[in-house]
């Protein structure tokens, strides 16, 4: 049987959507309270909690600004490069 259209997930073939970004989010580690509210709302799953602080992976972040918007203490700021 020919598997003409079977594609295996391969991270290396994926586009690094960070190139889409116009504004980029910056986490103020002092202000961040580690509530992780931003984590599940990120469409790119690019926020991780490291040492109880939000940490953003800029390889995939498209710069939408959802994390900055949902942050209850405004610890994430959107900045131009």
Distance CA 60, CA 56 (A): 9
Minimum distance, C-beta of residue 75 to another protein, in the bound complex (Å): 15
Distance CA 63, CA 78 (A): 8
Among 24, 29, 39, 53, binds another protein (CB under 8 A): 39
Among 3, 7, 19, 30, binds another protein (CB under 8 A): 7
Size, binding site for another protein by CB under 8 A: 33
Minimum distance, C-beta of residue 68 to another protein, in the bound complex (Å): 6
Distance CA 10, CA 3 (A): 17
């Amino acid at each position: 049987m020919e598997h003409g259209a079977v594609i295996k997930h391969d991270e290396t073939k994926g586009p690094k959507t960070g190139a889409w970004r116009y504004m980029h989010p910056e986490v103020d580690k002092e202000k961040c309270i580690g509530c992780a509210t931003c984590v599940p709302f990120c469409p790119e799953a690019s926020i991780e909690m490291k040492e109880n602080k939000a940490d953003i992976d800029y390889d995939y972040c498209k710069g939408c600004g959802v994390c900055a918007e949902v942050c209850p203490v405004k610890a994430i700021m959107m900045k131009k490069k």
